[in-house]
């Protein structure tokens, strides 16, 4: 099915090669709960291992249920192929590690998820990969931090808690001058933004959040935009352009030629996923396929509810500041309107006059909102980041990511907006 002119609502149900199960004609995607796959012959087996033919070998590396999810997410994001993984964290790790090794560096936005910050700042450092954090408010900061060992740029489309939309086209344009690809974490705004259309080379999602949508499963996915010339910048990407000793000397940009512009994502699958084993279970892949089918519908409801909540909070006397893309000014508002289409997402933050104490009282007084470390659930969620999601960061690091003592983050669900506002209203009366 050609995906260019087809709308997201349709793509999430129909994109890709799956129409019905070839063995049974079942319409719902089966959970192929198997580790291995019968080879037709010794020649077939040899071809699969040599990547002369693509096909199923072992579920650590690929699985038919995962494959349906991968094709649909790739289509939704406007990319050419995807790789499903065990978590968003493994997706962030693989996205960078696929092109960076010891001695290399990459430049990353300071406005990112706390878990990503730790992974990049601390764990990757132990592997000899240097993450250079820069403030994305000025895209030129990415240029200033780059050198000949810089392998990629990394940003988050709609990063919480600041909720200042990342300058995707601006940074990807700077990167392309030097042959540096932009990797975007698009977790917080699927459907609303397709970073690949704005020049990003790679996107990733924690499918745990909006794609799953029901808070049931942990997963991640990386999408290859197929729009970056890894060969033209061969010196920057030895891992894609020099013989790979872990795969009988394959040169990935050459090996994939007959299969399309998928060198990056194929290498991630057949080397990193093969070696590290962060595979998504077939059951979780099935859960994400269910979530994906209603994603555009839910996103609409998340957005319209969040708009209503933002309007309510901005008039409340106990609140000093509401952080919401739709209420921003200047460059931040311009970026929100350029990159988010159809709504400003379901995330929202605010600061209470009463600071930390008030924030805690508010959270404890909520009756319908869940108090959890998650976003993107169908249910409304609230959290106090300074004492939870961002608590492993130093106070200076917390401030850099936009977390203040009195900040409360809301992930607005798909309940009726009057019920959401009623719960906020009674909790604010107590705060």
Query: At 398, is the secondary structure helix, strand, or coil?
Result: helix
Among positions 16, 136, 190, 220, the unique one binding ligand PLP when judged by CB under 6 A: 220
Residue 338's nearest CA partner among 180, 139, 108, 179 is: 139
Give the interface size with ligand PLP as a residue count (CB under 6 A).
17
Among the candidate windows 34-42, 81-89, 233-241, 278-286, which touches ligand PLP by CB under 6 A?
81-89
Task: State the nearest-atom distance from the C-beta of 116 to ligand PLP, in Å.
Answer: 5
269 binds ligand PLP (CB under 6 A): no
Closest to ligand PLP by CB, 92 or 380? 92
Do the bridges between strand 407-411 and strand 381-383 make them parallel or antiparallel, or are there none, so unpaired? Answer: antiparallel
Select from 45, 145, 218, 276 the one that contacts ligand PLP (CB under 6 A).
218
β-pair partners for 382: 371, 410
CA distance linking residue 237 with residue 248, whole number of Å: 18
Q: Are 334 and 169 in contact (CB under 8 A)?
A: no
Residue recorded with tokens 């240097």? 130
Residue closer to ligand PLP, measured from CB, 179 or 215 = 215
| 109 touches ligand PLP (CB under 6 A) | no
Provide the mask over 359-378, with x wherever binding to ligand PLP is found by CB under 6 A and - wherever it is not: ----------------x---
- Distance between terminal CA atoms of the chain? 53
Q: In this chain, which of 3, 63, 66, 89 binds ligand PLP, going by CB under 6 A? A: 89
Collapsing DSSP to helix, strand or coil, 405 comes out as coil
Distance between CA atoms of residues 151 and 175, nearest Å: 10
Does residue 111 bind ligand PLP (CB under 6 A)?
no
The 3-state DSSP class for residue 129 equals: coil
Which 224-263 residues touch ligand PLP, going by CB under 6 A? none
Residue nearer to ligand PLP on the CB measure, 208 or 241: 208
Cβ proximity to ligand PLP, 3 vs 92, nearer residue:
92
Report if residue 115 touches ligand PLP, rule: CB under 6 A. Answer: yes
Q: Give the other-Cβ count within 10 Å of 353's Cβ.
A: 13
Residue 230 to residue 222: CA distance in whole angstroms: 17
Least Å from the CB of residue 381 to ligand PLP: 12
CA distance 428 to 422: 10
**CB nearer ligand PLP, residue 209 or residue 302:** 209
Complex with ligand PLP: residue 323 or 428, whichever CB lies closer: 323
Give backbone dihedrals phi and psi of 47, rounded to 5 degrees, phi first. Answer: -60, -40
Span of 84-92, 250-258, 288-296, 303-311 interacting with ligand PLP by CB under 6 A? 84-92
Q: How many residues does the chain have?
A: 431
Residue 121: cis peptide before it, omega within 30 degrees of 0: no
Beta bridge partners of 371: 382
- d(CA 370, CA 189) in angstroms, rounded, equals 21
Residues of span 198-217 touching ligand PLP by CB under 6 A: 206, 208-209
Q: How far is the CB of 187 from ligand PLP (least distance, A)?
A: 4
Stretch that binds ligand PLP, among 53-61, 111-119, 164-172, 377-385 (CB under 6 A): 111-119
Q: Which stretch binds ligand PLP (CB under 6 A): 109-117, 142-150, 262-270, 340-348?
A: 109-117
CA distance 34 to 414: 35
Among 116, 141, 203, 389, binds ligand PLP (CB under 6 A): 116
Burial (0-12, 13-18, 19+ Cβ within 10 Å), 416: exposed
- Choice between 220 and 346, CB closer to ligand PLP: 220
Q: Is 187 in the site for ligand PLP (CB under 6 A)?
A: yes
What x-and-dash track marks residues 149-168 binding ligand PLP by CB under 6 A?
Answer: -------x------------
Pairwise CA distance, residues 219 & 159, whole Å = 19
Region near ligand PLP per CB under 6 A, out of 24-32, 110-118, 194-202, 351-359: 110-118
Distance CA 61, CA 397 (A): 37
- Smaller CB separation from ligand PLP, 218 or 308: 218
Q: What is the 3-state secondary structure (H, E, C) of 142-193?
A: HHHCCCCCEEEEEEECCCCCCCCCCCHHHHHHHHHHHCCCEEEECCCCCCCC
Classify strands 220-224 and 370-371 as parallel, antiparallel or unpaired: unpaired
87, 194, 241, 401: which one contacts ligand PLP (CB under 6 A)? Answer: 87
Summarize as ranges the residues that interact with ligand PLP (CB under 6 A): 87-89, 92, 113, 115-116, 156, 185, 187-188, 206, 208-209, 218, 220, 375
């Amino acid at each position: 099915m050609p995906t260019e002119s087809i709308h997201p609502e349709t793509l999430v149900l129909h994109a890709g090669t799956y129409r019905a199960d070839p063995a049974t004609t079942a319409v719902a995607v089966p959970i192929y709960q198997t580790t291995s796959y019968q080879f037709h012959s010794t020649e077939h087996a040899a071809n699969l291992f040599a990547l002369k033919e693509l096909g199923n070998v072992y579920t650590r590396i690929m699985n038919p249920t995962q494959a349906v999810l991968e094709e649909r997410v790739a289509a939704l994001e406007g990319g050419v192929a995807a790789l499903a993984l065990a978590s968003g964290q493994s997706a962030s790790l693989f996205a960078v590690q696929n092109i960076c090794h010891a001695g290399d560096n990459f430049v990353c936005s300071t406005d990112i998820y706390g878990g990503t910050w730790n992974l990049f700042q601390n764990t990757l450092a132990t592997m000899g990969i240097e993450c250079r954090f820069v403030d994305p408010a000025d895209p030129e900061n990415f240029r200033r931090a780059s050198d000949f060992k810089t392998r990629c740029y990394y940003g988050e489309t709609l990063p919480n808690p600041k909720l200042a939309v990342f300058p995707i086209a601006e940074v990807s344009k700077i990167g392309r001058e030097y042959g540096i690809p932009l990797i975007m974490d698009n977790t917080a705004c699927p459907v609303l933004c397709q970073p690949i259309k704005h020049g990003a080379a790679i996107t990733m999602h924690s499918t745990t959040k909006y794609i799953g949508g029901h808070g049931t499963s942990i997963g991640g996915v990386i999408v290859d935009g197929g729009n970056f010339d890894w060969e033209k910048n061969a010196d920057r990407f030895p891992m894609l352009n020099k013989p790979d000793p872990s795969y009988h000397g394959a040169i990935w940009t050459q090996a994939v030629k007959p299969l399309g512009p998928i060198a990056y994502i194929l290498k991630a699958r057949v080397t990193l996923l093969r070696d590290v084993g962060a595979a998504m279970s077939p059951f979780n892949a099935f859960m994400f396929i269910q979530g994906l089918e209603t994603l555009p519908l839910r996103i609409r409801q998340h957005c319209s509810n969040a708009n209503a909540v933002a309007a309510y909070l901005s008039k409340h006397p106990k609140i000093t500041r509401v952080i919401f893309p739709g209420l921003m000014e200047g460059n931040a508002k311009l970026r929100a309107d350029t990159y988010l289409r159809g709504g400003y997402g379901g995330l929202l933050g605010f600061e209470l006059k009463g600071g930390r104490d008030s924030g805690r009282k508010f959270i404890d007084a909520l009756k319908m909102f869940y108090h959890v470390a998650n976003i993107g659930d169908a249910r409304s969620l609230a959290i106090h980041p300074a004492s939870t999601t961002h608590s492993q960061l130093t106070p200076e690091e917390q401030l850099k990511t936009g977390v203040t003592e009195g900040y409360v983050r809301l992930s607005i669900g798909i309940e009726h907006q009057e019920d959401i506002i009623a719960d906020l209203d009674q909790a604010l009366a107590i705060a």
